[in-house]
Structure 1
Amino acid sequence: MAGHRRAGCRRTLSQGRCRTRRLRQTVLRRRPDRPVAVPRGPEHHAARTGGRYERRAVSGPFGPRAGGDELAVGSFDSLRHRNFRLLWTGALISNVGTWMQSTALAWYVFELTHSPFWVSFVSFINLIPLVLAPLGGVYSDRVDRKRILFVTQTLMMVDAAVLAVLAWAGHAGLAVVLVLTFGQGLAFAFNGPAWLAWIPSLVPPGSLVNAVALNSAQFSAARVVGPAIAGGLIAAFGPGLVFGLNAVSFVAVLVALALIDAPRTAPLPRERTLDFLRSGVTYAWRHRRIRTMLITVAVVAFFGSPILALMPIYAHDVFHRGSGSYGVLLAAIGLGAVTGALALGRYGTRLRASSIPISTVVTGVLLVAFGAAGMYAVAIVVGVAYGAANLFVNAAANSDIQLHVDEGVRGRVLSIYMVAFGAAFPIGSLVAGAAAVRWGAPATTVAGAFGCVAWGAILLLRSPDPSPRAALEPGA
């Protein structure tokens, strides 16, 4: 026993182990083959490449505990940070409400008009205001982002409440629905850039990729849960109640915003709005890596994402099933998207330059498999995998942009990211719909798949270096 005291240890007989007072949450192992250097943080990749020591983190339920290396993170690492946890929880609740309203709105418009055209036009008029997202990006770089979010979330809450009241009263005609839906889209065009640009203020740099991934995960999870809840409520109580619940769901975000204590956005020198916008576009185009990520998002949205618009054709004409099967296929893709987001979340700042091109190629290969699947069960499995790969590409591109963009232009660049997806997806869906009428959904899907594979292969040839964040340097 005395020997153990001299060694500074206490033996726990029941567990048969020695506890050392100096052992905390990391183990430092000497690496004699490295020069003497003290690792300075996650950005130096101390656990992999540099420094005198190699650091191993002791993980907790949400990733490494305090004092550990933030490069290797858990899927829910960012939720350890109070500010992001508040925003994420509020967003999850609110997005469930948003997807509930989206489902109920499509049903409500179909009951009003019995026209598939007007049902699709409501979705179009909700997305078309995204062309104004760059203007929202200008204000997100000029005005405190938290204040912008307060205003836009409040406007969307009031918009949903008005729709609920008018629907209950029987006065929500088609014209009213179109105006209010356009209002929701317009508010989102200003909300989106500020939301994306604010995330880096809520987490440390080592958790940024994880935060972006979890933000995508909660949106994808809401896309699965929201329509499932809305279906039963519409059948029991009608669309009006669903619109009202969506309005209430915005309270969760507003409460979260009120509780978050984050630094204000630093004011920038005043310039004319058009010049300010032009400087952001010029920055994004001249920065080779950011430009490549924006093009990647647009390519995958145009060629790879329109399969969602073709899903009713697959359910009815290809697999010869009803609307329930259509919902299952969409839910499978949504479940896969959540899985892909959680997989990305584990990367932390270890995201390799080759990850995005490889995921783009995999997305194309899975589209070919889905188009060739003659069995409904096989299509469900492939749909899960496709949802994961597609989400991984988009969220990883967002993360890569966030890691490389300068803070002064973050809002404007991320607004261009929103337009890259928001414009390419509906245009691609229109083209895919016209092509499917002539050649069928499977052939159209396979044709789009080759676009994804080709672009992914080009990226792999341009960025052969497998090291993290090494390829496609700005101006290279």
Structure 2
Amino acid sequence: MPLPLMFSSLGVRNYRLWAGGQVVSLVGTWMQRIAQDWLVLHLSGGNGLAVGIVMALQFGPTAVLSMPAGALADRYDKRKILLGTQVGMAVCALVLGVSDTLGMATLGQVYVLSFALGAISAIDAPVRQSFAIEMVGPEHLPNAVALNSMTFNLARIIGPAIAGVLINLIGTGPVFLVNVVSFVAVIIGLLMMRPGDLIRSDKPAGRGSVRSGIAYVRGHPHLVVVLSTVFVVATFGMNFPLSLALMTRNTFAGSAGGYGLLSTMLAVGTLAGATLAARRRSPARLRHFLAAATVFGVLEVVVGLMPTFWLVAIMLIPAGAAVITFSTTAMNIVQLSVDSSMRGRVMGIYMLCFLGGTPVGSPLLGWLAGVYGPRSSLLIGGVVSAVAGIVCVALLMRAHHLRPTIDHGRIGLHKVGV
């Protein structure tokens, strides 16, 4: 019996194994994120800059490693690389969990382990993103990207909720250890895949250098627009872990459970947006992408202006839907518009734009939140995101209304109205 349209990519065995493992592993990942933020706030006495520094250390290696990792993804077996990165991330969680459980955790240790985790994640991300099309092929890729987002955001609902309860009951240390166990699911899924069923990407001629990936992107104007917008919005607008942790503790005098609740409400919105994306069959269009960036910016400003905890929680739902529409549309445009031999390198550049600005944005926003209050990081991030979307729309209108449209899994540029 055929699967419903919104679950079509689950008809591929290798992808089912991957998705099943991710459901479990990502719950653990989100539990660790909540526990780590709360541990840092505890160790630093509620210092927003300390949270920003941890985020910078965790995402900073992306600026150096994501593009070389994309080149590795184009040349070597992605499944084997992912096995190595998953084991490495589990080891980082184990060390932090043991140290915290024994009462030995210090802010310096969290900084070091955040950097180590960030280095491994910087290698993992472009490989993982470019691996999706090898599992399902171009036909099912948009659906797989949307289902990946649904899985991510389902975990984003479950993980923070569980973490908030467990932190209040038994502390942060055991939460890190639960995350260690969750990695087993994705590792087993990777080991059970049939390598012969994977749709291998074309190997690059020559060395497959990072420089050739940059040149490829520069030669495709729609990629420049998408990646530039992703960089600005991700650096300044997607600051919710920092902003929500500080608002919960410093503005509303809440607990870890309150932070988990706000994270869950944001995830409800992103899950709803991802569900709609999984059902959508229309082409990925640049105007939808830029509209989502603008709408997200406006909604983030509204979240920052809400006077009570519960109004913030409610407004996080539409903000979450807007941000996931923005990110899934960007992913589909990028993945389906590049040659298979370049996909790993382009996804490395994409991940650099998506995460590479965090080392600058998070400490800056954390400092601003400390000086002007936690709401300021949301207000500034929202304004910058909305302006980025509006500016790019204006530039496209001047550039003859270029827009990518998908035709049988390929994207071409056409002069059409925005």
Match of 1:130 in 2: 62
The partner residue of 2:332 within 399, 411, 421 is 399
1:337 has 2:270 as partner: yes
AA at the equivalent of 2:4: F
Post-superposition Cα deviations, 1:31-77, rounded to whole Å, max 9, x if no partner, equal: xxxxxxxxxxxxxxxxxxxxxxxxxxxx95521xxxxxxxxxx2x22
**1:38 maps to which residue?**
none
Partner of 1:104: 35
CA contact (8 A) 1:62 1:78 kept: no
Which 10-residue stretch deviates more, 335-344 or 293-302? 293-302
Trace 1:166-315 onto structure 2 (pairs within 5 A).
166-261=99-194, 262-263=197-198, 264=200, 266-271=202-207, 276-306=209-239, 309-312=242-245, 314-315=247-248
8 Å CA contact 1:100, 1:242 repeated in 2: yes
TM-score normalised according to structure 2 size? 0.85
Residues of 2 paired with 1:255 and 1:79: CA distance?
17
Q: Which amino acid in structure 2 is aligned with residue 198 of structure 1? A: F
Displacement of 1:387 in angstroms is 0.7
Query: Percent identity of the aligned residues?
Result: 33
Whichever of the two has the greater Rg, that structure is 1
**Matching of residue 328 in structure 1 with residue 252 in structure 2:** no
Query: How far does residue 458 in structure 1 lie from its aligned partner after superposition?
Result: 2.5
Shifted more, 415-424 versus 457-466: the winner is 457-466
Q: 1:228 to 1:371 in 2, by over 3 A?
A: closer
Distance 1:376 1:187, change over 3 A: closer
1:266-314: CA deviations, max 9, x gaps? 544442xxx7011111111211122221112113223432355333565
Deviations 1:75-123 (A, max 9, x none): x222222211111111121111112122223333444453624444323
- Name the CA shift for 1:237/1:350 in 2 (closer, same or farther; >3 Å): same
CA distance in 2, matches of 1:305, 1:289: 22
Structure with the bigger percentage of helix: 2
Shift of 1:463: 7.0
- Following superposition, the deviation at residue 349 of structure 1 comes to 5.7
How far off is 1:204 after superposition?
3.2
Displacement of 1:188 in angstroms is: 1.0
Shift of 1:345: 1.5
Q: Considering only aligned residues, what root-mean-square deviation do their CA atoms show, in Å?
A: 3.1
Cα distance in structure 2, aligned partners of 1:162 and 1:348: 44
Q: Please give the alpha-carbon distance, in whole angstroms, between the structure 2 residues aligned to 1:260 and 1:348.
A: 28
> For residue 87 of structure 1, what is the amino acid of its counterpart?
W
CA distance in 1, matches of 2:100, 2:365: 34
What residue identity is the alignment partner of 1:106? D
Q: Structure 1 residue 148 and structure 2 residue 84: aligned?
A: no
Which position in structure 2 is the counterpart of 1:62? 4
Measure, in 2, the Cα distance between the counterparts of 1:241 and 1:310. 25
Matched, 1:473 2:413: yes
**Contact 2:43–2:106 (CA under 8 A) maintained in structure 1:** yes
Deviation at 1:469, TM superposition (A): 3.5
8 Å contact kept, 1:294–1:417:
yes
Tell me by how many angstroms 1:397 deviates.
Answer: 0.4
- More deviation, 107-116/183-192: 107-116
User: How far apart are residue 383 of structure 1 and its match?
Assistant: 1.6
Q: Distance in 2 between matches of 1:475 and 1:412?
A: 27
Which of 60, 82, 95 is residue 13 of structure 2 equivalent to? 82
| Secondary structure of the corresponding residue to residue 236 of structure 1 | helix
- What's the CA shift for 1:199? 0.3
Q: Could you tell me how far apart the structure 2 residues matched to 1:136 and 1:466 are?
A: 29
How far has the Cα of 1:430 moved from its partner? 4.0
Distance 1:175 1:372 in 2: 34
Structure of greater relative contact order (alpha carbons < 8 Å, 6+ residues apart): 2
Aligned residue in 2 for 1:410: 343
Aligned to 1:159: 92
AA aligned to 2:87 is T
Flag structure 1 segments of 5+ consecutive residues without an equivalent.
Answer: 1-58, 64-73
CA–CA distance in structure 1, aligned partners of residues 356 and 400 of structure 2: 27
The answer to whether the 8 Å contact 2:59/2:358 transfers is no
1:406 is displaced (CA, Å) by 0.9
TM-score, normalisation: structure 1: 0.75
